[in-house]
Amino acid sequence: MRTTAMMETYPATINLDRTLLARTVDAAVECAQACTSCADACLSEEMVADLTTCIRTNLDCADICATTARVLSRHTGYDATITRAQLEACIAACRSCGDECEQHAGMHEHCRVCAEACRACQAACQELLAAIA
């Protein structure tokens, strides 16, 4: 991804570690993609009715992660309160989605992969939140 390169070109001061910030954006984008793909894969399973909670959680997490990546990519007029709230929402969504996908990981490889992406994004958001708190 070009996230780090883009962060390095920002002309104004960014009050956060740009490498950590870029890593968190990348984790959120990757998680959004994994969750979207997992939801679609769940829809292809024969037992789709048993996966409705997983699908819903995947879609919610994908939207929250995508929004988090966008919020973290904007720095003009930066508001740490909004950033903290968005990171907290992303942490909660990733925790919930990771927990849900882990329940199906033994039967569905896409859920295992998604759970890993959720855990990685959750950890990145927690690290960034600690750096701005």
pLDDT digits (tens, 9 = 90+) for 84-126: 999 999 999 999 999 999 999 999 999 999 999 999 999 999 9
What's the predicted TM-score (pTM) here? 0.94
From the number of C-beta atoms within 10 Å of its C-beta (0-12, 13-18, 19+), residue 72 rates as buried
- The rounded percent of the chain whose pLDDT value lies above 90 is 80
Averaged confidence pLDDT in the chain: 94
Confidence of residue 133 (pLDDT cuts 50, 70, 90): low
Q: Report the top-level CATH class of 17-132.
A: mainly alpha
